[in-house]
Structure 1
């Protein structure tokens, strides 16, 4: 029963799922023009969610990922590289349409954090799930402050699920959570205060 719950949590809270939620929130909070709201949401849907899901299923079909959790760390490098290219494409679109600096800064974090996790993954299997969850939490914290503290419970649940499924150790989920939060918060602070 525990494994079924953990599996459901892991499936629902894959890193791309946070992309849609947060960028939709940012679109309505920061974009003053309807066209820019649409651009932000569509970019998040296509370059932040759909293309990554399509990539995953393609790699599974081709046998380049041995299981649905990409549990072998050596198999993760190529998907991370392609994901970086996808994020760069989305970043170019957001820049072209001159959307809010908040959305641009946070999208940049997706690029840099994917590169960071790709580098770390060569040596150690850090948790992309917890990193992918705490990055958005850091962005929300940057924007609205401590009001989002309740989301910390979600991070704990995701961490438990990954450990319960024996896909990560406790240090790996903690490292992912800390790396995602600290990296995103510092980058957003720097970018927004610089531009």
Structure 2
């Protein structure tokens, strides 16, 4: 039963699902800042739908089909970062509203820093922890103190990821710090 609960928590806190929640919360609180629902759907497409495509694509792409969970994780990361890069480039080319620029800047910074920490520095940082702490930091930027209660989700994420033996406590703390710091840095440019 404990493992099923941990899996459920892990599914609910996968980065694209947290992005969907965060973008939707921001849209309903700052609808006028999005200028139109088109930018809301644009954000959902690049930050939720594109990264989630990794899960069905893993079943049909030859290079990932037989690699199990590892292949799924790699494809999810590649699709997410590619989608963040393309989405962010288009945000600035198409002159998106500032709120959308901030959202994409935070995601590209987090994805870039996470990739750097994991691939170059060779320190394992949790994508789940980064994908929860970064958006909470983004929500705090826009919503202020009422968003701080969302940080209470992190111990639940930690518990689930440790119970599933996906990460150590150090991996989770590192991922959390990457999410918070990269988001703060990205928002500092505005």
State TM-score, norm by structure 2. 0.85
Shift of 1:67: 3.3
Residue deviations 1:7-49 (CA, integer Å, cap 9, x gap): 0000111001121122223233334278x33122211221111
How do 1:19-168 residues align onto structure 2 when only pairs under 5 Å count?
19-32=19-32, 36-62=35-61, 64=64, 66-68=67-69, 70=70, 76=74, 79-122=76-119, 123-168=122-167
Per the normalisation by structure 1, the TM-score is 0.83
Looking at structure 2, the residues matched to 150 and 88 of structure 1 have their Cα atoms a distance apart, in angstroms, of 30
Question: For residues 148-194 of structure 1, what are the alpha-carbon distances to aligned partners after superposition, in whole Å with 9 as ceiling and x for unaligned?
Answer: 22212211101110011000000001111111012102221x222xx
Distance 1:64 1:148 in 2: 38
Root-mean-square deviation (CA), in Å?
2.4
Find the counterpart in structure 1 of residue 16 from structure 2: 16
Over 3 Å counting, the alpha-carbon distance change for 1:28 and 1:92 in structure 2 is farther
The 1:108/1:141 distance shift into structure 2, 3 A limit, reads: same
- Map Cα deviations across residues 63-122 of structure 1 (whole Å, 9 max, x no partner): 527334x489xx63x643442221122224433553331321221121121122112222
Q: Which runs of 5+ in 1 are unaligned?
A: none
Runs of 4 or more off by more than 6 Å in structure 1?
A: none
57-66 or 143-152: bigger deviation: 57-66
